[in-house]
Amino acid sequence: MTGAAIVFLSFSAVAPKDYESQNRTTSREAIDAGRLEFKERPRLDGASVCELHTCGGVSRCGRMANIRVDHSLELAGPVHGLTGVVTLTSQSALRMLLFVCACVLPSFWVSFAAVGAMRWIAPRLGLIDKPAARKVHLVPKPMGGGIGLWCGVLIPLTGALLIVFFAPELLPVKIPGKTISADGSVLYRLPQLLAVTLGALAMGLVGLADDFRPLPWQPRLFLQFLISAIVVACGVRATFFVESFWLGAIASVLWFVVLVNSINFLDNMDGLAGGIGLIVSGVFACMMLSRADDPRWMVGGYFLLLCGSLLGFLCHNWSPARIFMGDAGSYFLGFSLASMTILGTFYTAEDGRTHTILAPLCVLAVPLYDLLSVISIRLKEGRSPFQPDKKHFSHRLVALGLKPVHAVLTVHLATLTTGLAGLLLCSVDSWGAALLCLGIVVCILAMIAILESAPRPAIAGSSLGTIPVVAMSAAAGPEQSVTEVSASGRELNSHAADRSSTDVSARNW
């Protein structure tokens, strides 16, 4: 934990702009062609930002440069823009690797231990998912995995904040002055960071209350909107392309609620929600840390903490699961992802690339697709959108004949594909290339829709035209507790056929 705190804060706590201004170096040499002046500005990630200047300003040579200077720094890249990047390859890679390990490893071990402890504590607290006629598992299973997920994120993060405030001498990079106010620093982001952390914890507590005693959907939805509105009022809101407070606030609240329920809806099979959260967090971490001009160390570090915590949880939740995440975990995970995508600031006026605002939609395309498709199916059947059923994406894949573990892996691969398309979207500079990335996401979702519309195979010995839904291990919560074995509301022709289908379901699981 101490290692995570030291390295995490070494990047996120120090104000980059102040640090660069204090360590700016003068020109090392004059470049003969065009009377250019070379200036190097070291950055905290081990790289150096370099600029080529003429007497009239920044050079716009319109050619590629490959200039060797002292300290073995190499300038490579187009010089027609404002800046090039000089990279100390070994130091930069080492510090990035150290940063990733210091965030992921402590959160992994904390989560692994906490979830393991909850496997023993949860039954004694009554936090268990008991067998029932509409459930598959034959023995009670604990539902406290979400609490371990909280610990994996909040404990290392708290340790990091304590070190930066009370023991800054432990940091490998000295914090300039006692007060840090520049963009990207801890004190500048502290109100937002506290709002996000407390909001995620409050959302998790709502889910925990629902795990102990299922709540009606009305109070749960009200509390989701209330917590989201409070966090948005603390400054965690999207700005889009206009500086309208109400537009950004309304969109941000809806984003929180939609994403919380999207992750909660997907928590219906062993390893499903945790795996999707791991993939999405990893992709977003790459987006935040791969920005050569301005890496988002704090947001990227938070995503890495989520990755480590989810890895520790999946060690206990992968099929066959020994513990369930429950609403306590899915609410916390969904809220954390929503808040960090807002703080990540995918679009800025200085950057000018408006298409990057679509990157989160690409990465989260599969969870959003599942939410919208399930709601549309329920409305089409004349039922409430909040009535739980077995019509989720993963359930529909199992209805096609896939084993539950294969259905989970299929959803994971679809999420990874759309996530990589979103990662590519952030690296392109034109709308034409961005449309190609969006086309990949649309094609993936179209393939999923076509696959789901395929006719169901019939079971031998049964006159049904559809295969019964395979029984599966369901996670805790109202969306996850429904495990009906019948398909399309029909019954098998005989008791023998019913018993046969149940045996097939058990073997597949």
- Helices 186-212 and 2-12 sit at what angle, rounded to 10 degrees? 130
Measure the CA–CA gap between 66 and 33, rounded to whole angstroms.
13
Cα Rg for the chain, rounded, in angstroms?
25
Q: Could you tell me if 244 and 258 are in contact, meaning their C-beta atoms sit under 8 angstroms apart?
A: no
Buried b (16+ CB within 10 A) or exposed e, 10-32: bbbbbbbebbbeeeeeeeeeebe
Residue listed under structure tokens 């006629």 = 133
Nearest alpha carbon to residue 479 among 399, 419, 393, 404: 393
Alpha helices for 142-271 (secondary structure H)? 145-166, 186-212, 217-233, 245-266
Flag whether 264 is marked binding: yes
Measure the CA–CA gap between 363 and 95, rounded to whole angstroms.
27
What is the phi/psi pair of residue 76, to 5°?
-135, 135
Measure the CA–CA gap between 346 and 354, rounded to whole angstroms.
9
Nearest alpha carbon to residue 313 among 450, 488, 129, 112: 112
Measure the CA–CA gap between 176 and 182, rounded to whole angstroms.
11
Specify the DSSP element, H or E, that contains 312.
Answer: helix 297-317
Q: Could you tell me if 236 and 192 are in contact, meaning their C-beta atoms sit under 8 angstroms apart?
A: yes
Nearest alpha carbon to residue 506 among 403, 410, 389: 403
Measure the CA–CA gap between 285 and 107, rounded to whole angstroms.
15
Measure the CA–CA gap between 508 and 405, rounded to whole angstroms.
9
Residues in the annotated binding site for Mg(2+): 264, 327
